[in-house]
Homo-oligomer: A and B are copies of this chain.
Amino acid sequence: MSYKTLKKSSKSNARLGLLKTVHGVIKTPFFMPIATRGSVKAVTSDELKELGAQVVLANTYHLYLRPGLKVIKKAGGLHKFMNWSGPILTDSGGFQVFSLAHARKITNRGVEFKDDVSGQKHKLTPAKVMEIQKVLGTDIRMVLDECSGYPVSQAKALEAVDRTTLWAKQSLRYRNKKQLTFGIIQGATDKKLRQKSLEEITSLPFNGFALGGLAVGEPENKMWPIVGEFAPKLPDDKPRYLMGFGKPHQIVQAVKCGIDMFDCVIPTRNARHGLFYTWKKSASISRKTFYSELRIKNSQYTNDMKPIDPCCDCSTCKTYSRAYIRHLFMAGEPLALRLATIHNLAFYLSLMKKMRSAVSLGKL
């Protein structure tokens, strides 16, 4: 068994656990910084390690197109190529292909799309996605699924559920012992479809399960009922992954629903736009208001010599003032992106650590 629960909260569905991979054991719940193209934007893998990142997420689709498998194979796999010795999860690329709505054709055999950089046509099938990820040599492989988006008709959402199950079964033929393979549950915001997808996918021998197709534009009052009902229904003895999710207070909420794994562009993308997450003094992470958003471009920070977050001990906060970081943003200096990304990742990774500690102490 690759996953082990160490402790369950008595106050919520939150759990503390360990996920074993070839490149190391990951403490759950955890957050994966996004390295879509084999690089977390503006930071090095050494910095990620210092920040306490346990695992990063890269994208099968993007790496398959550029630099291509030949290069990564020659490098000896993605870990060596990008100089990251810890675990890597690769998303299948299904979500990315489905986002390019006008450039794709989906059949039961797979998905055809046009690379908008080279103009070349490509095809991804469930088998090919598994084989690409085998070459990448990543620790956790996600199967090809169909993400139905929002809004979507029930008929279309059903079609996506059926195709996702069909593809999941095909993908399992490509299992191997070095890599974990995760199944994905679809069904949009329809509880009956979610139940059907959950039953079909969790009946298959995957190493972990993900809720996909959430946080794709639906209102929170349609999303939370799905997370709240289906996270706890995911197998107890396997890791549970809520894909592409979320803001800090949403991650806390999802951990309480029983989710173990997260990835999201929010901390890194917002950092690059000058939006920082900061801790509120002595606020419990159980409250929605445990953090603030600081928009560094606001003029109030022009003369502010305090660090971004006086409660944070990341290298950005230990070294630079709000005034300096604001100046870098206003002047378009590339160092801004890096200092900002480091702080927001420190915030997210520290949030996960606090949650693990809270579950361990029976406080979440």
Contacts and interface: CB of A to CB of B under 8 A. Distances in A.
A335 to B, nearest CB: 5
23 contacts: A37-B328, A37-B331, A38-B327, A39-B331, A41-B335, A42-B334, A43-B335, A44-B338, A67-B326, A67-B327, A67-B331, A71-B303, A74-B305, A74-B323, A75-B305, A75-B321, A75-B324, A81-B321, A81-B323, A81-B327, A83-B319, A334-B334, A338-B338
Nearest to A81: B324
A111 interface: no
Give the number of times this chain occurs in the complex, counting copies: 2
A70 B327 CA distance: 13
Interface string A28-42: 000000000111011
A174 interface: no
Interface in A271-319: 302-303, 305, 319
Interface of A: 37-39, 41-44, 46, 66-67, 70-71, 74-75, 81-83, 302-303, 305, 319-321, 323-324, 326-328, 330-331, 333-335, 337-339
A265 to B, nearest CB: 14
A306 to B, nearest CB: 12
A240 to B, nearest CB: 31
Contacts of A39: 328, 331, 333, 335
Contacts of A321: 75, 81
Given A43-B335, A67-B302, A302-B67, A38 B324 contact: yes
Contacts of A335: 39, 41-44
A46 B303 CA distance: 23
Contacts of A46: 319
A314 to B, nearest CB: 13
Chain B CB within 10 A, most for which of A46, A81, A320, A324: A324
B324 A66 contact: no
Given A74-B303, A305-B74, A66 B330 contact: yes
A328 to B, nearest CB: 6
B74 A327 contact: no
Given A39-B333, A44-B319, A338-B338, 8 more contacts: A37-B327, A38-B327, A44-B335, A70-B303, A71-B302, A83-B320, A83-B324, A334-B337
A60 to B, nearest CB: 15
A81 B328 CA distance: 11
B70 A331 contact: no
Contacts of A67: 302, 323, 326-327, 330-331
The 3 residue pairs across chains A and B that have the minimum distance between CB atoms: A67-B327, A42-B334, A37-B331
Contacts of A330: 66-67
